Chain A
């Protein structure tokens, strides 16, 4: 089962299925006046066709195992979510600090001092963006 070529086809087939089933909720219309559901249905069908031929092709090619590192992915996504939530509940200054600290879990070495230094520099950059480039960031 751990075969990159097979998983590739299955993953794309899943995407095609989600969008294809979704498109059935919208009127398809007729060819001369296509409705909003027509084009997504057509493209999903093409994608499904491509995905199925990938699955077929994987039967003829050698298996390639997939490396999937859940930990790093989870840490990075969690740090983004934490940034968004903390920025909304408190302010973006704390959000940036949280982003640096949560994401650094994925680093190979850990250091509180380094994290504080990085956060401080990034806050400085954010401040320059607000004052210099006129970006609207809710820093405080």
Chain B
């Protein structure tokens, strides 16, 4: 069990398909492309899931079958053929490469620029080295330490087997199956993801990460994450990876649910760098994600995201501020270049009294890309004295890109205070020239200016992530001034 689990995770990390035939049962364990109720049943059976979960998946499938793909977002694409996807693939052994020489040099160049160590480069690009053993042992001691505190951090698949009551109690409570087209699809066919539970009053002593140096990664096509912070607990959770992630799966439809119980705090940070496609946008990943958290009394959820990848990003990490005095935050930097399209933002739903939310969104558009901020601030009648403060800024790097802002404000309580600031500016030639005159080359100058622009958001990231994210911004915008 342990072995196959690890192999599967490794496979999901690299997303490479198996080509060389070290084992023989691979092909027979991949089901034919297409989606039907039977397929859902097969997935659930393969994963040895309890009956209630199969029922839950089937309900999602039925709802999904009635739904239509949404068209309101400011993005244009050809709808992926969902019947052409195979929804279950047995754990595969990744294709092992002999040395870094066999890795795509573009990929290596980028990783070098990011300052990723040689060992890490090998790991990320799937070169066989003995660090795997290291990383397992690191992962093990990591787990032991968390175990002492009662923190559960494992794959969702494992949690379904080991902690079914917790999963059953919370799964789908924040993002119900019928929430939207892609969330419904995910609910029906999700393969794996991460699960995290922080017990009452525990302050998780380390950043929990789905990629960092341990193989808890669940980068499946339909990933599902469930985070539960019990009363008075705290956790900082990191998702994603600054290294470019290539994947043969064009469509990614993940769901993240966060439950922040009374007086708990969850900080969720993402760096998303899926393959954006080539200069013409061909071959990039479609990233349709539903992320939402619910805040109970005096609790807090903070979303921080740096989005640089994907051909299409459709993503609105949101907070339902249900409990009195709860706080929701959203800090975002979204970069689009070439033909990339992003429609991203947040929803802050104020239900409890004295609930507060802050939104800081920094869009950077370059090339021929389209970058939209879409946000909803909704104050329900029950939300006495709710407050919101929003800033959404757009920075244009070229004359052929687009930046759009769609703020929606619905206030149903007269005591609400809502502030919204928005700016759009073109990167200043004066600023670039000023830097150049001091001996800073143009590319570096742009990096400096953009980092300065995004600083308020980058500062919210955990330290080690922030440094890589800064470099990533610069790399994403290389050659983009026009």
Answer whether A and B are interacting partners.
Answer: no
